[in-house]
């Protein structure tokens, strides 16, 4: 494994951590929809050599479909964070988007719950 591969896998783990941090925001809305959780598990498995890039890609698309089905903006952003985390397997720069969507989910949730 090259240094580049190590960096890519590190980015994948960081993206999974970011998405995992806000997963509860999606699951508060729909605890029966496991697509974002599965995407996070898939990118973690990819980072450890357990699944293929094509499996991670499929998980990314599934999480993004979950985002499209979400009712709240915070849940949508959380699912998108998971989708971008999984997409890191095939394009490393998706890790930055996973963090960005996780931060967005946190901001949206804070706004929603601080106004209540």
What confidence tier does 4 reach under pLDDT thresholds 50, 70, 90?
Answer: confident
What confidence tier does 1 reach under pLDDT thresholds 50, 70, 90?
Answer: very low
Task: Write down the pLDDT at residue 87.
Answer: 98
Task: Write down the pLDDT at residue 114.
Answer: 59
Average pLDDT over residues 45-62: 97
61-95 burial string, b = 16+ CB within 10 Å, else e? ebbbebbeebebbbbbbbbbbbbbbbbbbeebebb
pTM as predicted: 0.93
pLDDT for residue 112 is more than 90: no
């Amino acid at each position: 494994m090259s240094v580049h591969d190590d960096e890519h896998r590190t980015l994948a783990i960081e993206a999974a951590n970011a998405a995992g941090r806000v997963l509860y925001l999606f699951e508060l809305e729909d605890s029966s929809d496991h697509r974002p959780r599965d995407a996070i598990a898939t990118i973690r498995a990819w980072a450890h050599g357990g699944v293929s890039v094509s499996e991670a890609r499929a998980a990314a698309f599934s999480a993004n479909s979950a985002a499209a089905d979400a009712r709240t903006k915070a849940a949508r952003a959380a699912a998108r964070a998971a989708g971008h985390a999984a997409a890191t397997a095939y394009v490393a720069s998706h890790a930055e988007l996973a963090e960005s969507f996780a931060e967005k989910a946190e901001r949206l949730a804070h706004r929603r719950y601080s106004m209540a």
